[in-house]
Amino acid sequence: MYQALYRKYRPKTFEDVVGQKVIIKTLTNSILNNKISHAYLFTGPRGTGKTSIAKILAKIVNCESLNGVNPCDKCVSCTQTNNKQNTDIIEIDAASNNGVDEIRELRDKVSLVPSFGKYKVYIIDEVHMLTTAAFNALLKTLEEPPKHIIFILATTEPHKIPSTILSRCQRFDFKKISINDIKQRLKYISKEEEIDIEDNAIELIAKLSDGGMRDSVSLLDQLTAYTLEKITINDVNAVYGTITINEIYGLFEKIYNNELSEAFNLIEKYDEEGKNLTKIIEAMIEFLKNSLIYFNSSNYFENEEEKKMYDNMCKNIKEEQMYTSIDILLDALKSSKNTNNIRLIFELSIIKILETKNVQKIENMKIETPILDEKKKIKTETKIETKETNDEVKNKIEELKKLRITNTLSKFDKKELVTFKNDLDRIKELLMDPDYSSVVSLILDGELKAKGDKNLIFVYNIKNLEECFNLSLIEIEKALKKVFNDEYKPIAVSSEEWEPIKVEFNKNMKSKNNVYEYKEESNSLDEIYEIKKENKEKNKTTNEIEDIFDDVIVYN
C-alpha cells in the first residue's frame, strides 16, 4: 500500500528534524545529563514537528542501549516502537477523547509500571480540546506523578490551557520552519523519490506552506499525482489554487487603471477555474508588501523580473495608496472566513480600493497649466484646487453632523440597531446598479454603530471615506429609501471622533442623565446641495473661459 510522503519521511531521530535547533539542543542536554522532566508542553503552528519530536523523545527515554541520544533500534522497546506496538507509549487525541471520564481512566492507569522500558509516556495531542473537568482531573496527576510517568502535551493553542497546567510543564515553543530549510528538505525528498521538479516550483511550495513542513511535503506528494512530467511552477499554482505573480501584477494593473469590468472578468475567470480566491487575496497582500519593501530597499530582491514589476508599482502607485489597499484586502481576508460567498467579498474590496484611490486622486490632483514668463518660456508649477467643497460646505456639514449625532443618541435603541445591521446587507442589491454602486460600497465600507428612530451613525477608520460619505448624503439617502422604502437620516464620523462620543454616551446612560435633545432638521442638506451646485457652475464657467482664452490666462 502506498505510504504518504509526510509519513514516510517523518523524522526518526533528532538529527532528522528540520529546524527547531534550540528545542533539540535543550532536549539533547536534558537526556545526556539525565534531567528528564515529568511533563512537557509542545506548542506552535501545525506541521512544525511537535508530535514527531514527542515520539522521538518517547523512543529515546525507553531505549535500552542509547548511542548518545540516538536510539539503538535493536532493543525490545525500539523494535516495539518501530512496529507501532509499544504499549509503554500511549498516544491520545484530545479532540476526540476530551471528556473527564477518559482522563479519569488515564489517571487510574498511570500507577501501572512500564512493560519493557523505563517510562510510560503519554502523548496527548490537541490538549487544548480537553474540557475544564478533564483538565481538573489531569491536574492531580501532573502535581504528583509516579516516577515512571512522562506527559508530553501538544497544542496549537496554548492560550486555551489553564495556567495551573502550564505551570507544571516545561514549555517548548516551536517556530515556523524557514523557507530555506523547507527547500532543502524538499530537494532531499525529491532526490530520494526521483521526482523531477523545477527549483522555482520548490521555492513556491516552501513559501505557500507558511512554515509548515508537513504541508509542504503533502503538497509535493499531491503534485506527483497531478503530473507525471516535470513539476513546474504552473503546476503548483494549479494544484494549490493560486495564480502567478505576473497574473497578480496584471490584476493590480486593471484595478489601479480604473478598469473595473476587466478586473471583475478576471475574478470571474479565476472563480470558474476553481482558483482559491482567499489565497489570491493573500497573494495580493504579499505583492503589495513586497512593493513597499522595494520602495524602501530595492536591493532586497534578486529576481529581476519581479523587481521590474515592483518598480512599476512604485512608480505608478503612491505609498499611501498601497497601505490603504492592504488594509482593505486584510478586511476582505478576515470577512472571507465567515462567508460562503468569497467572490462577493473580493469584488467589494476591489470597489473599495478604486474608491479610495479616486478620493485621494481628487484631493492631491495637480494640473499643470502653461504660464508665460518674461522670456516667453513655459513653466508648469501651478496647483489648482479641484475640490467642489469649500469652507461654507464644510461648516454646514459639521453643523448637520452634530445635529444628527444628537438626534440618533436621543432615541438610541440597541435592539433596533442589531435588527437594522442585519437588514443592511440588503443594500447589496444595488451594487450592480451604476446609479448607486459607488454609494452602496461606501455604506458597506463603514460600520453602523448607532440607530435612533430614522437616524443612523456610520463609523469609518479612513478619514477620506467618512468625508466622502458626508459629501454624498443625498445620494446615500436615496439608496436607503430605494431599498427600505423609508426616509433615513445617516451621518458618518471617523473612528477617532466616535470613541469620545461613545464614552460620553455610556457615561450618561449609566448615570441615567439623558442630555441628548431631539431637534427637527432645517433645510441644511438642501443648502449644502445648493452650494455644491453653485460651485459646479462656477467651475464650469471658469473652464469655459479657459477654453476661450487658452494660454493667455496666468494663474498666481
Q: What sign for the dihedral angle of Cα 534, 537, 541, 543?
A: positive
How far is Cα 371 from Cα 556, in angstroms, rounded to an integer?
9
Q: Do 131 and 103 contact (CB within 8 A), yes or no?
A: no
Q: What is d(CA 275, CA 342) in angstroms, rounded to the nearest whole number?
A: 11
Residue 260 has what pLDDT? 84
Question: Which residue matches cell numbers 523547507?
Answer: 182
The pLDDT score that the predictor gives to residue 299 is 81
Of 410, 551, 404, nearest in space to 488 by CA = 404
**Do 465 and 442 contact (CB within 8 A), yes or no?**
yes
Residue 365 confidence (pLDDT): 39
* pTM, 2 dp: 0.61
CA atoms within 13 A on the CB side of 519: 15
Q: What is the pLDDT of residue 369?
A: 33
* Residue 516: other Cβ atoms inside 10 A: 18
What are the pLDDT tens digits along the chain (556 aa)?
678 898 889 999 999 998 889 999 999 999 999 899 999 999 999 999 999 999 999 999 999 888 888 998 888 989 999 888 888 898 988 888 777 778 888 877 887 888 877 899 999 999 998 888 888 888 888 888 888 899 999 999 999 999 999 999 999 999 999 999 999 999 999 999 999 999 989 999 998 888 899 999 999 999 999 988 899 998 998 888 888 889 999 999 888 888 888 889 999 999 988 888 999 999 999 999 999 998 888 788 877 888 889 988 888 888 888 888 999 999 888 888 777 888 888 988 888 888 776 555 444 433 333 333 333 333 333 333 334 446 677 788 888 899 999 999 999 998 999 999 888 888 888 877 777 877 887 888 889 999 999 999 999 988 778 888 888 888 899 999 999 999 999 999 998 899 999 888 888 887 776 678 888 887 656 666 665 555 555 554 445 444 444 444 343 3
Rounded distance between C-alpha atoms, residue 196 and residue 193, angstroms: 9
Q: What DSSP string describes 71-91?
A: --S-SHHHHHHHTT--TTEEE
What does the H/E/C string look like for 311-355? HHHHHHCCHHHHHHHHHHHHHHHHHHCCCCCHHHHHHHHHHHHHH
Closest to 552 (Cα-Cα) out of 376, 372, 367:
372
Distance CA 232, CA 466 (A): 47
Measured from the Cβ of residue 352, the count of other Cβ atoms closer than 10 Å reads: 23
For each of the domains in the chain, give its residue range(s) and CATH number, in order of start: 5-173 (3.40.50.300), 179-240 (1.10.8.60), 245-361 (1.20.272.10), 391-533 (no CATH)
CB 72 within 8 A of CB 117: no
CB 17 within 8 A of CB 62: no
